Amino acid sequence: MASSFPDRHRRGLVGIAVSTNSGCEVAQVATQRAEPSSDFHFVERDEPDKIAATLVKLVQERIPERFRLDPIRDVQVLCPMNRG
């Protein structure tokens, strides 16, 4: 991914992905590159119930309202996976 995108394209989600794949912490990179118009936002929650509630609110309300999207048709949730 790093070789496919020149520096001028390393903004938002692509920039976060490149930095994360290079070994940077997501929270650190997201904080450093915080822009209101970004397509990537890092939201930290410690408790499972709060994580679920925040995710539901983001997908059902905040993202669709902000970007004028249909929450079912236009919003996709990607989750990291640990392989053991």
Tell whether 32 and 60 lie within a shared domain.
no
**pLDDT higher at 15 or 29:** 15
Q: Which residue has the tokens 């929650």?
A: 45
Whether residues 6 and 19 share a domain: the answer is yes
CA 2 to the chain's CA centroid: 18
The closest of 83, 77, 6 to 43, measured between CA atoms, is: 77
Q: Which domain holds residue 62?
A: 45-84
Task: pLDDT band for 5, please (50, 70, 90 cuts).
Answer: very low
Q: What is the pLDDT of residues 21-74, one digit of tens each?
A: 777 776 666 665 556 666 667 788 899 999 999 999 999 999 899 889 999 999
Question: Among 54, 51, 52, 27, which residue's Cα sits nearest to residue 41?
Answer: 27
Number of domains forming the structure of the chain: 2
Residue 31: the pLDDT is 62
Q: What is the pLDDT of residue 73?
A: 95
